Amino acid sequence: MRNRLPVGKTGDVNTATVETPSTQDLIRRAAMTLFASRGYEATTLQAVAEVVGISKQAILHHFRSKEELHDAVLRQLIDHWNRTLPHLLVTASATRNRFDAVFSELVAFFQADPDRARLVLRELMDRPDVTRKLLSDVIGPWLSSIATYVRIGQERGVHRADVDPEAYLLQVLQLAIIGVATADVMSAIVGEGPEGRERSARELARIAHASLFSPRPVA
């Protein structure tokens, strides 16, 4: 029942040619950051409002409720995933080592905005039931398609025969997510700052690779 006024331009002031993010966008971004770092319950609409620089009630003008704002943030994440996926696969198939390309793109997707990884992790923990279905829908197709690729590699002897493709890919996905989400905390143990993160990232890639590919016969 709320008006869906185009937020930027009601007519007058907006002569700016630069694409200014809409208020909705600003709210979504702020909410994403807060949901990711504090969790849904601990995030108050007031806190979101203060980041954006508007009132709490202004947020409730754009989003009917806190829950609706949460849904919008999630949908944005899913949409971005679905838009990125095809590109990810195309890039990968054009590469000699297809798997390493897919894996690095996967990690890059989350590293480009660590809030994505944190948000997914929070969803997994806070709303397991809802997230179960959601995950099946979103990553199910992706999983099947890459699993097929893994199986082909197994038939050719490139991939280890004892790999469980779907289970393997899920574990790798989980590693990428938690690796990004807790990078600052965990990697600090193996080394402060960027150095620790670098070591963690490299080892992550090594584990994913070594546990998939058959040992090369000594040339």
The binding site for DNA (CB under 7 A) comprises 3, 5, 7, 10, 23, 43-47, 54-58, 60-62, 64-67
- Using the rule CB under 8 A, is 190 a contact of a copy of itself? yes
The number of beta carbons lying within 10 Å of the beta carbon of residue 184 is 12
- Using the rule CB under 8 A, is 135 a contact of a copy of itself? yes
- Using the rule CB under 8 A, is 170 a contact of a copy of itself? yes
CB of 22 to a copy of itself, least distance (A): 29
**Region of 11 on the Ramachandran plot (φ > 0 left; ψ -120 to 50 alpha; else beta):** left
Question: Directed axis angle between helix 23-38 and helix 66-93, to 10°?
Answer: 90
* Binds a copy of itself by CB under 8 A, chosen from 50, 67, 68, 164: 164
Q: Are 164 and 170 in contact (CB under 8 A)?
A: no
- Using the rule CB under 8 A, is 153 a contact of a copy of itself? no
Q: Give the whole-angstrom CA distance, residue 158 versus residue 212.
A: 9
* Binds a copy of itself by CB under 8 A, chosen from 73, 122, 150, 153: 122
Judged by CB under 8 A, which stretch of 10-18, 45-53, 104-112, 206-214 contacts a copy of itself? 206-214
Judged by CB under 8 A, which stretch of 52-60, 76-84, 98-106, 171-179 contacts a copy of itself? 171-179
Question: Which among 196, 184, 169, 179 has a CA at the least distance from the CA of 103?
Answer: 169
- Using the rule CB under 8 A, is 151 a contact of a copy of itself? no
Q: Give the whole-angstrom CA distance, residue 117 versus residue 33.
A: 11
Question: What residues contact residue 1 under an 8 Å CB cut-off, 6+ apart?
Answer: none
Question: Which among 122, 73, 81 has a CA at the least distance from the CA of 105?
Answer: 81
Binding site for a copy of itself (CB under 8 A): 37-42, 118, 121-122, 124-126, 128, 131-132, 135-136, 139-140, 143, 160, 162-164, 166-168, 170-171, 174-175, 177-179, 181-182, 184-190, 199-200, 202-204, 206-208, 210-211, 215
